[in-house]
Amino acid sequence: MMMDYITSFLDLPFPLFVLSTVVFLIFIVKQTKLLSSSNVKNLPPGPPKLPIIGNLHQAGDKPHVVTADLAKQYGPLISLQLGQQCLVVASTPEVAMAILKTQDRLLSSRVVPNAFQQESLIPHSLIWSDCNQTWKTLRTLCRTEMFSAKALGSQSRLREEKIGKLLDFLQQKEGQTINTEDVVFTTLFNTLTSIIFGQDLLDLKDEHGALDGLKESIHKIIEYGGRVKDIGAFFPVLDRFDLQGIRKGTMRLYKKTFVYWKHIVEERRALVNSSTWSSEQAECFLDRLLENGFSNDQIDQLITELFVAGTNTTTSSVVWAMTELVKHKEVVSKIVEEMEREIKSDRITHSQLSKLTYLQATIKEAMRLHPPVPLLLPHRAAETCEVMNYTIPKDAKVLVNLWAMGRDPNVWDDPLSFKPERFIGSKIDYKGQDFELLPFGSGRRMCPGLPSGMMSVELVLASLIHEFDWVLPDGGDPLKIDMNDKFGIALKRENPLKLIFKHK
C-alpha cells in the first residue's frame, strides 16, 4: 500500500522507481538523523505521519486545497512531514502576521525548488537567494531602475502601446475564438521585454512560428519550477541524482531561452562599453545592468527570474478576473457605467485608471478568491523559532495559504460569493499591511513588482472591458463555466478561457 502511494506520488517509471527506492533506503538507514524534525518537540499540529514518507501520501496535486482542508481539522498553523522535509503552513491572517511580520527576519530565507538549483546561476538569484548581500543589491537595483515612480512613469507609454496592439489584434480576430490566456501572456511578456530589452520578443500573430519556442520554454521553466512532486526536495539525500530530470530539463530550457536575447545583450554591451557612451543614452533596464558591470550569467539569471515572476502572475490575475466577469454580468455592467461616467477618450490610458474605483474593487475581489501565488513563494526558517507558541525547526519550509484565507468565513462574509462591493469604502488593500489580503505577500520578501504588475492588470482589464463584449463560444452558459485551477508557481485555470471578442 505504501509502495503504491509512493510510486503514484512520484510518477516515476518503474525501473527508475526501484533503483531510487534502493538508493534511498541505503541513505535513509545511514542518515536517520536527517529525519530530525520528527523529533522536534512542540511542532504545530498535523495529521499522523507514516514511517519514511511522513505525509507524502496526503500531499496531492493541489497543496493549497489539501492544506486548507487540513487547517479546518488541525488549526491555523499546521505541520506536515514530506519525506525529510518539514512543512509548516499558516492559514489565518493572525498567523500570517506572526510569520511575515513578527518573525520576518528569521523566516525569510528560501527553499529553492530543484528546478532552480543551477550551480552556475543560483549565486546570482534575486528570488532564491537568502536575504544576503546579492539579494539586497538586486532588489535595490530593480526598485530604483524598474519599479520607482520615475521608471513606472516612463513605462506607461510602452504598456499602452502593447495593449493597443492587443486591442487591434482582437479587432482583426473579431468573431473568432481566442485563447485569452495566450494573448494576454504575449502582451504582458512583450511589455516586460520592452522594459528590459527595448523590444518585443513575441508576436501575437506568430501562433506557431519561431518565436513560439521562447514562449514554450518560459512556460516549461515555470512548470518545472512549480512541480509539487519533487523527490529531491523531499529526500535531500537523493537530490544530487536529479532522478526526475527536473534540474537537467530546466537547464536545457534555460540555455534555449538565453539564445533569444544573447545577441541583444552583446550589441548593447558593445555600445555601453564604447568610449562615446553616456548614461543619458540608456534606453532599457539591460543598459543599467551593463552599466553596473553585470556578467552574462548575472543578466541571464535576473532576466529569466523577472519573466518567471512577472508574466504568469499578471496573466493569471487578468484571466481569473475575466473568468469571474464572464460569470457575473451585473459586475461588468457596473464597470461599464463607471467607464461611461469617467472615461471620455477612445482608449484608456494610465492616468485614467485611478478614477475606476469599482474596477479596482473587482480586481481585489478576484485576487481574494484566486490569489495568483496561493502559498507565496516557499520561505525557509533560517533558525529555529517560535510562532504562536509552536516551534518552527531550522530549515522548515514555511508557507502562507492565501487561498484558504480568502475563502475563510471567519475572515470574510459570504466568502465564496464574488462581490466587489465588499471593497467599496473599505480600507483593505493588497500592499502588505492588511493580512487578510496578501496577493503580493508582506515583509522583506514582498513582491517588488507590485506597482508594475498592478498597472498591467488594471490597464489590460479596463481596456478589454471598454472595447469589447465577451461571449463564450458555442453559446456556452456563463454560469456553468469551469472554475478548476492548476497549482504551480502561479495558480492558473486548468483549462484555457476561450472567448469571442465583439467590438462595441
284 is in an annotated binding site: no
| Nearer of residues 235 and 285 to ligand HEM, judged by Cβ | 285
Take residue 379 and report the three cell numbers written for it: 520561505
In terms of C-beta density within 10 A (0-12 exposed, 13-18 middle, 19 or more buried), how is residue 139 classed? middle
Among 216, 139, 155, 203, which residue's Cα sits nearest to residue 456? 155
Q: Contact positions toward ligand HEM, by CB under 6 A? A: 126-127, 139, 192, 305-306, 309-310, 313-314, 317, 372-373, 376-377, 439-441, 445-449, 452-453, 457
| Nearer of residues 49 and 364 to ligand HEM, judged by Cβ | 364
Take residue 384 and report the three cell numbers written for it: 529555529
| Nearer of residues 100 and 253 to ligand HEM, judged by Cβ | 100
| Nearer of residues 9 and 435 to ligand HEM, judged by Cβ | 435
Q: Quote the least distance from Cβ 5 to ligand HEM, whole Å.
A: 30
Q: Quote the least distance from Cβ 472 to ligand HEM, whole Å.
A: 25
Shortest Cβ contact with ligand HEM: which residue?
A: 449
| Nearer of residues 54 and 453 to ligand HEM, judged by Cβ | 453
Count the Cβ atoms, other than its own, within 10 Å of residue 212. Answer: 14
Q: Quote the least distance from Cβ 437 to ligand HEM, whole Å.
A: 11
Q: Quote the least distance from Cβ 107 to ligand HEM, whole Å.
A: 10
Asked if 97 contacts 229 with a C-beta cutoff of 8 angstroms, the reply is no
Asked if 284 contacts 196 with a C-beta cutoff of 8 angstroms, the reply is yes
Phi-psi region at 356: left, alpha or beta (left = phi > 0; alpha = psi -120 to 50) = beta
Backbone φ and ψ of 442, nearest 5°: -160, 160
Round to whole Å and give the CA distance between 362 and 422: 9
**Residue 469: helix, strand or coil by DSSP?**
strand
| Nearer of residues 20 and 155 to ligand HEM, judged by Cβ | 155
H/E run at residue 500: strand 498-503
Count the Cβ atoms, other than its own, within 10 Å of residue 426. Answer: 12
Among 220, 223, 297, which residue's Cα sits nearest to residue 252? 220
Q: Quote the least distance from Cβ 446 to ligand HEM, whole Å.
A: 6
| Nearer of residues 49 and 368 to ligand HEM, judged by Cβ | 368
Q: Quote the least distance from Cβ 50 to ligand HEM, whole Å.
A: 29
Count the Cβ atoms, other than its own, within 10 Å of residue 478. Answer: 14
**Residue 424: helix, strand or coil by DSSP?**
coil
Could you list the beta-strand ranges (E) of 12-84: 77-82
| Nearer of residues 20 and 452 to ligand HEM, judged by Cβ | 452
Q: Quote the least distance from Cβ 160 to ligand HEM, whole Å.
A: 16
In eight-state DSSP terms, residue 195 is H
Q: Quote the least distance from Cβ 310 to ligand HEM, whole Å.
A: 3
Asked if 254 contacts 118 with a C-beta cutoff of 8 angstroms, the reply is yes
Q: What is the pairing mode between strands 397-400 and 85-90?
A: parallel
Which amino acids are annotated as binding site, given as ranges? 447
Which amino acids are annotated as binding site for heme, given as ranges? 447
